[in-house]
Amino acid sequence: SVIGFALTVAFGIVEEKNSRVVEVLLAAVKPRELLAGKVIGLALLGLAQLLVIAIPGVIAARLAGTIGLPDATSPALLLTVVVWFLVGYAVYAGVFAAAGSLVSRQEDLQTTITPILLVMYGAFVGSLTASSDPDSLWAHVLTFVPLTAPMVAPARYARDALPLAEHLAALAVTALGAVALVLLASHIYQRAILRIGQKVR
């Protein structure tokens, strides 16, 4: 969900630039407001989709009793996943918004988002590693890196290997990282959004 909805931010920005609809929109709202509306709207859509899939899925699996679920599949874990989804989405939406505002065509977007996707896939692999060995040094380190924590922390929490103090500290560090990345993205977006057809350094 984080990957899909954060990517949608970048694709939406490029589509607005390519169709030049952004010029009309910016006559009515400030660039920062336009970006905030896009990011918040997609966050709500992503959260709704996550809840619509996760809650009935867990209930059905528990009622059927055919799928072995860990004891950690509880309301606390679902809440943890939702919180980390929102924080992770904020981190990556900021990064993808900046990447999307640097290009004017969908064909060029791949060059700016590939490094971000590699980091995301690395974070996903890190979460699998953390799930299999949640007390390793590697898992502890990745829990405090804003780009990997949204995937690693829930995996460790599900294995009952994330102490509350470490969990809260990781959440705070990642939230601060998200704020910094969103502010940077906003800065880049404001300066690049109207450079249609031009290369942006």
Q: For the whole prediction, is pTM greater than 0.85?
A: no
Q: Which 8-state DSSP code applies to residue 74?
A: S
pLDDT digits (tens, 9 = 90+) for 2-49: 888 888 888 888 888 777 787 778 778 888 888 888 888 988 998 898
Q: Which two tokens stand for residue 99?
A: 């990447």
3-state DSSP assignment of residue 134? coil
pLDDT digits (tens, 9 = 90+) for 48-94: 988 888 778 777 777 877 665 555 557 787 788 889 999 999 999 98
Instruction: Give the helix ranges, DSSP H, for the chain.
Output: 2-19, 21-25, 31-64, 75-101, 106-132, 137-142, 149-158, 164-192
**Residues recorded for the chain:** 201
CA contacts within 13 A on the Cβ side of 99 = 23
